[in-house]
Amino acid sequence: MPDVSLIQCDTYQPEALKDTILQSLSNIGFDLTRFNNARVVVKPNLLMPAKEEKAIITHAEFFRAVVRIVKENNGTPVLVESPAIHSLKRVIKKTDYARVVEEEAIEIADPMQTRTLSYDAAKKFRYIDISEAYFDADIILNLPKFKTHGITYVTGAVKLLFGAIPGVEKSKMHMRAPDHEDFAEFLLDLYGAMTFGMKPSVPIVHIMDAICVQEGEGPGPAGKARWLNAVLAGDNGIAVDYVATMIAGLDIDKALTVVNGFRRDYGISSAKEIKVIGESIKNLQVSDFEPATGSTIFSNMFRWPFNTPTFKNLFLDRPVPAEDKCTLCYQCKKICASGAITASSGKKDIPNYDYKKCIRCYCCLEICPEAAITKQKGRFGWILGG
Ligand code: SF4
Ligand code: SF4
């Protein structure tokens, strides 16, 4: 039975956080002596350079509390993460991580060196290249930030492992798994491969920053920060994501990495098997949490003929940049794996979008530093309830 620790926490004050995380590890029966002489990969969400108050990245003090616990128990913490576009060094330099990494003297691994991870039980993606640093770890501590997401509905423990794939290689995976259902299955293949397919195996513990989170058009600058006041932990990422989605009061049937994850039987096949330790879900649950628009509504329908350019243009939301916000930085062009974005033609000071090529992965919307891109409804989107 997967245990999930759930503790109320409304502060990023370092000592209080450390106590909360220690209690979380104790709740799930994690023995701190496992850190002794261990190389501990600590993986926060460092999607992009962002201020803490936007709740895009795992809070730097949350990361500090975890690495202090590792160090105090004679382990060596190593920061591993691969942001979407920018180098890891640049994201660290532009965030509060610069201070924490220096003060705590944390080793940073190069996320761009890769090794192929193979997993025979994968549904579709048996071979995935991930950062080599994960193979050198004795333990992986995955530190997701709970946020809404335009494709996966929520992003938490399962989705955060996507960051094991280096840089813009991530957005290419959207070309190989273009619809919501396929993308969720790919994420579950990756989760299964990292959880059960590493040789020798490397245990993963998920410790979630669900204190200040994102609602609305997460997980980037277009999302809105709000306080959910919770820290979660568990060694089953699907179970952790289930509990987080429930305390946000969201529709669990739309969280495909959770409901499809139950079908994989990765140590859990239904919510009934989860034992929540600490607070009850009911006590922390909120009722006014805003989901991202256009999430998984079409997930089961988004197959031929619904994924042809004509149908996509008529039915699905299209990403549209606003001229008054766009700075022509072209980060959207850089991340678009389908080549749908080209330089401004000069008529308008915004990049050109070719909606026939666009696969609606919304990576551009996620990464735009100005939150200049919004979703515009397809002409007949109302028919599908979008
Ligand atoms: S839409 Fe956003 S990411 Fe694209 S060029 Fe404009 S500001 Fe940059
Ligand atoms: S234009 Fe944006 S939504 Fe469309 S494929 Fe490119 S990154 Fe994805």
- The H or E element that residue 313 is part of is helix 309-315
- Does residue 360 have a pLDDT over 60? yes
Residue 379 confidence class, pLDDT cut points 50, 70, 90:
low
Please indicate, yes or no, whether residues 247 and 319 belong to a single structural domain of this protein.
no
Ligand 1 pocket test, pick from 48, 320, 326 with the greatest ligand atom count within 8 Å of Cβ, gives 326
- Does residue 214 have a pLDDT over 60? yes
Please indicate, yes or no, whether residues 345 and 216 belong to a single structural domain of this protein.
no
Closest residue CA from atom 4 of ligand 2: 358
Q: Is 170 close to ligand 2, i.e. is its CB under 6 Å away?
A: no
Please indicate, yes or no, whether residues 50 and 120 belong to a single structural domain of this protein.
yes
Give the mean pLDDT of 214-227. 96
Q: Read off the pLDDT of residues 344-357 as tens digits, 9 standing for 90 and up.
A: 988 889 999 999 99
Cα(192) to ligand 2 centroid in Å equals 27
Residue 279 confidence class, pLDDT cut points 50, 70, 90:
very high
Radius of gyration of the chain (CA): 20
Residue 175 confidence class, pLDDT cut points 50, 70, 90:
confident
- The H or E element that residue 49 is part of is none
In a domain, residue 296? The reply is: no
Residue 382 confidence class, pLDDT cut points 50, 70, 90:
low
Q: Is 372 close to ligand 1, i.e. is its CB under 6 Å away?
A: yes
pLDDT at position 179: 81
Judge contact between 48 and 84, C-beta under 8 A: yes
Which ligand sits closest to the CA of 183? 2
Helices (H), 177-209: 180-196
Quick one: which atom of ligand 1 is closest to the CA of 330? 5
Which ligand sits closest to the CA of 331? 1
In a domain, residue 207? The reply is: yes
Residue 212 confidence class, pLDDT cut points 50, 70, 90:
very high
Q: Is 151 close to ligand 2, i.e. is its CB under 6 Å away?
A: no
CATH number of the domain bearing residue 92: 3.40.50
In a domain, residue 335? The reply is: yes
State whether residue 174 is helix, strand or coil.
Answer: helix
Residue 296 confidence class, pLDDT cut points 50, 70, 90:
very low
Quick one: which atom of ligand 2 is closest to the CA of 363? 7
Q: Is 326 close to ligand 1, i.e. is its CB under 6 Å away?
A: yes
Token digits for 215?
A: 């609602």
- Work out the percent of the chain whose per-residue pLDDT is above 90: 81
In angstroms, rounded to a whole number, what is the distance separating the alpha carbons of residues 65 and 154? 25
Q: Is 84 close to ligand 2, i.e. is its CB under 6 Å away?
A: no
140-144, 201-205, 295-299 — which is least confidently predicted?
Answer: 295-299
Please indicate, yes or no, whether residues 227 and 348 belong to a single structural domain of this protein.
no
- Does residue 40 have a pLDDT over 70? yes
Give the mean pLDDT of 272-282. 98
At residue 230, φ and ψ (nearest 5 deg) are -145, 145
Please indicate, yes or no, whether residues 118 and 19 belong to a single structural domain of this protein.
yes
Question: Which position has the higher pLDDT, 353 or 302?
Answer: 353
Q: Is 353 close to ligand 2, i.e. is its CB under 6 Å away?
A: yes
Angle 222-227-230 from CA coordinates, rounded to 5°: 125
Nearest to 144 by CA among 154, 134, 155, 128: 155
pLDDT at position 381: 57
In angstroms, rounded to a whole number, what is the distance separating the alpha carbons of residues 37 and 34? 8
In a domain, residue 289? The reply is: no
Which ligand sits closest to the CA of 151? 2
Cα(216) to ligand 1 centroid in Å equals 20
- Does residue 143 have a pLDDT over 80? yes
Please indicate, yes or no, whether residues 343 and 201 belong to a single structural domain of this protein.
no
Please indicate, yes or no, whether residues 62 and 190 belong to a single structural domain of this protein.
yes
In angstroms, rounded to a whole number, what is the distance separating the alpha carbons of residues 267 and 269? 7
Beta-carbon contacts of 175 under 8 Å, excluding residues fewer than 6 positions away, are 337, 338, 359
Please indicate, yes or no, whether residues 174 and 253 belong to a single structural domain of this protein.
yes
pLDDT at position 79: 98
Q: Is 374 close to ligand 1, i.e. is its CB under 6 Å away?
A: no
Predicted TM-score (pTM) of the model is: 0.90
Cα(27) to ligand 1 centroid in Å equals 44
Cα(151) to ligand 2 centroid in Å equals 12
Give the mean pLDDT of 78-107. 96
Choosing from 269, 284, 299, the residue where a domain stops is 284
Judge contact between 332 and 361, C-beta under 8 A: no
In a domain, residue 44? The reply is: yes
Token digits for 164?
A: 């094991």
pLDDT at position 29: 98
Closest residue CA from atom 6 of ligand 2: 336
Q: What is the 3-state secondary structure (H, E, C) of 61-120?
A: HHHHHHHHHHHHCCCEEEECCCCCCCCHHHHHHCCCHHHHHHHCCCEECCCCCEEEEECC
CATH number of the domain bearing residue 364: 3.30.70.20
In a domain, residue 299? The reply is: no
What is the total count of domains within the chain?
2
Residue 317 confidence class, pLDDT cut points 50, 70, 90:
confident
Nearest to 183 by CA among 116, 253, 256: 256
Please indicate, yes or no, whether residues 185 and 314 belong to a single structural domain of this protein.
no
Judge contact between 374 and 364, C-beta under 8 A: no
15 HSE (CA, 13 A, CB side): 0
Ligand 2 pocket test, pick from 151, 336, 374 with the greatest ligand atom count within 8 Å of Cβ, gives 336
Judge contact between 152 and 257, C-beta under 8 A: yes
Choosing from 233, 267, 284, the residue where a domain stops is 284
Token digits for 61?
A: 């003090």
Q: Is 336 close to ligand 2, i.e. is its CB under 6 Å away?
A: yes
Q: Is 332 close to ligand 1, i.e. is its CB under 6 Å away?
A: yes
Q: Is 140 close to ligand 1, i.e. is its CB under 6 Å away?
A: no
Token digits for 227?
A: 């306080």
Question: Which position has the higher pLDDT, 359 or 295?
Answer: 359
pLDDT at position 125: 92
Cα(319) to ligand 2 centroid in Å equals 7
Cα(226) to ligand 1 centroid in Å equals 25
- Does residue 303 have a pLDDT over 50? no
138-147, 168-177, 319-328, 329-338 — which is least confidently predicted?
Answer: 168-177
In angstroms, rounded to a whole number, what is the distance separating the alpha carbons of residues 317 and 151? 12
In angstroms, rounded to a whole number, what is the distance separating the alpha carbons of residues 194 and 158? 10
Q: Is 328 close to ligand 1, i.e. is its CB under 6 Å away?
A: yes
Give the mean pLDDT of 9-25. 98
Give the mean pLDDT of 79-87. 94
- Does residue 99 have a pLDDT over 90? yes
Token digits for 111?
A: 């996320």
In angstroms, rounded to a whole number, what is the distance separating the alpha carbons of residues 42 and 206? 10
Please indicate, yes or no, whether residues 316 and 275 belong to a single structural domain of this protein.
no
Cα(124) to ligand 2 centroid in Å equals 23
Sign of the dihedral through C-alpha 148, 8, 25, 78: positive
Please indicate, yes or no, whether residues 165 and 85 belong to a single structural domain of this protein.
yes
Burial degree of 199 (CB within 10 A; 0-12, 13-18, 19+): exposed
Burial degree of 214 (CB within 10 A; 0-12, 13-18, 19+): buried
* pLDDT, mean over the chain: 92
Choosing from 284, 299, 320, the residue where a domain stops is 284
- Does residue 299 have a pLDDT over 80? no
pLDDT at position 386: 45
Cα(355) to ligand 1 centroid in Å equals 16
- Work out the percent of the chain whose per-residue pLDDT is above 70: 92
pLDDT at position 294: 62
**Host domain of residue 315:** 309-379
Please indicate, yes or no, whether residues 316 and 261 belong to a single structural domain of this protein.
no
